[in-house]
Amino acid sequence: MRELNFVRDQKLHEAWRQVQWYFSEDLEKEVEGQITHYLNKVLRIEADLQLRADPYERTLERVDYRAGYRTRSVVTPKAEYVLTVPKARSTPLQHRVFDRKSTPVQTKLIQLYCIRL
């Protein structure tokens, strides 16, 4: 009959827990980065739609010109995301990500979506 070496098994178990912890930490950072990238892209698309032109595009329908970016943070139960928000020269841009008049149901759905990613 084979004797079990509990010391070796315990070290193996601790090593496995440490690998799991590092993997989950890296995965959370990757997901946060992907969410930030996605939200920044949504903000740029909303700005394009409101200004009625892409960046550097010259059209007669253009409402205003871009004037750079500013940083703004969004706090969710999962994490805090620092976003780059497009600005316009004279037209105030309104973004749905920062909508203060959103219903509690919309807010909860956004939070659930961010938690699942």
pLDDT in tens, 52-106: 999 899 999 999 999 999 999 888 777 888 999 999 999 999 888 777 666 665 6
Domain assignment of residue 95, yes or no: yes
Domain assignment of residue 77, yes or no: yes
Instruction: Give me the domain span that covers residue 88.
Output: 6-55+64-116
Domain assignment of residue 1, yes or no: no
Domain assignment of residue 26, yes or no: yes
**What's the domain count of the chain?**
1
Two tokens, residue 25: 């930490």
Domain assignment of residue 13, yes or no: yes
Transcribe the chain into DSSP letters: -PPP-HHHHHHHHHHHHHHHHHHHHHHHHHHHHHHHHHHHHHHHHHHHHHHTS-TT---TT----EEEEEEEEEE-SS-EEEEEEEEESSSPP--GGG-TT--HHHHHHHHHHHHH-
Contact present, 67 and 51 (Cβ < 8 Å): no
27-44 pLDDT per residue, tens? 888 888 888 898 899 899
**Full-prediction pTM beyond 0.85?**
no
